[in-house]
Amino acid sequence: MRGAAPPSPSFRTCRIPVAVVIAVLFLCLFVYLYLDGLFLFYSSSSLRDATAGIKSSEGCSVSCESSERVNMLKSELVSMSEKNARLEKQVRDLSSGDRRKAGPFGTVRGLRTNPTVLPDESVNPRLAKILEKLAVHNELIVALANSHIKDLLEIWIESIKRVGIPNYLVVALDDDIENFCKSKDVPVYRRNPDVDIDNIGKTGTTVAVSGLKFLVLREFLQLGYSVLLSDVDVVYLRNPFDHLYRDSDIESMTDGFNNKTAYGYINVFDDPSMGWSSLVYTMRIWVYNSGFFYIRPTISSIELLDRVTKRISVYPKAWDQQVFNELLFYPSHPGYVGLHASRRTMDIYLFMNSYVLFKHVRKDSKLRKLKPVVIHVNYHPDKLPRMKAVVDFYVNGKQNALDPFTDGTPK
């Protein structure tokens, strides 16, 4: 039987190039598919990460929510930390002073007023709700009244409504005034019952009732509101809030009647027995009117109210205006620590007392043309007819309305 013939050399030579061609084609195909992303290769670490990812995929939503919550808490923590840092700085500034280098000559300015208190609604939640609705920019006019001054209160209310002042409140000291205000659609507040205060409010003298305002005002300031305290013998001709500076703890009307008496002057005292040094220089200023002043909610302001209230409680016959000025102006001296409250005197021709009006303004053709913000009939006991005359002159245009009155009220 014949054996198979061995392959010829030419056939073997032909297979080698074919194999090479096939290998090259396979390599090209592999490279193409690899670059196209069909084949993925992982390192051992990548495989572990992929495995971990697969295992954690089931809890993805929970972990995502937890991550968002953590981020939110971190953001709140950062915000609280920043706020705390600011508060700590304020405490340091208030306790030790904001120490800094003085600026160039003529550029240095000290603080004009003290920082306001943190409002405390727990002091009087009922009053807090009333003031929240009534106050404008956290300030309002406040007046105390009982039935003895009802006729004056009516003119006071009419003048405020005529000007269009929305932020005012009457603190009623008896049932009659409370009912009267409600009938006139006037904002009114009645304090919680207090035997001592109620007795003064209902039956007390004008001086005694006037002294109550310092006790009543304390709660307004504790609640964080600035108050323009007003007696009811005041006629409003313009909105007083448009003419306040608000740069001091107390901004008050004065009993002064010209620039010297209102804003202060040097008075020379002569003692001839002292020979060469017989002339002694003193400072004089007419007192602030405790029946019309703007007070900001600061610690110094509240301390002033407390000191006046305490002094009047010890000396019931003391005149509140005298006490108010003594505590506001007297400096510290041996045995006494003075009050550190900043003060501003109101313009005497804008916030006018009745001395200025009846002694000077009505007699001066130029001054008669001015329109005050308010006129306080504080120098005259015949208040009602003079208040009506003020309305006739400034509101109704009756040029002779002020003429019948004497400068002062005869004794």
Classify residue 236: in a domain, yes or no: yes
Which CATH number do you get for residue 138?
Answer: 3.90.550.10
Q: Which pLDDT belongs to residue 81?
A: 84
Classify residue 401: in a domain, yes or no: no
Q: Which pLDDT belongs to residue 143?
A: 97
Residues 6+ apart with CB under 8 A from 349: 356, 361, 367, 370, 372
Question: Which residue range is the domain that position 331 belongs to?
Answer: 121-257+288-394
Classify residue 70: in a domain, yes or no: no
Q: Kindly report, residue by residue over 119-137, the tens digit of the pLDDT.
A: 999 999 999 999 999 999 9
Q: How many domains does the chain have?
A: 1
pLDDT at residue 341 is higher than 80: yes
Determine which of 16-30, 166-180, 365-379 has the lowest per-residue pLDDT on average.
Answer: 16-30
Count the residues in the chain.
411
- pTM of the full predicted structure? 0.75
Classify residue 293: in a domain, yes or no: yes
Residue 260 φ/ψ, nearest 5 degrees = -65, -55
Q: Which pLDDT belongs to residue 150?
A: 96
Classify residue 383: in a domain, yes or no: yes
Q: Which pLDDT belongs to residue 36?
A: 46
Query: Is residue 359 within 8 Å of 217, Cβ to Cβ?
Result: no
Classify residue 347: in a domain, yes or no: yes
Query: Is residue 271 within 8 Å of 184, Cβ to Cβ?
Result: no
Secondary structure letter of residue 167 according to DSSP: -
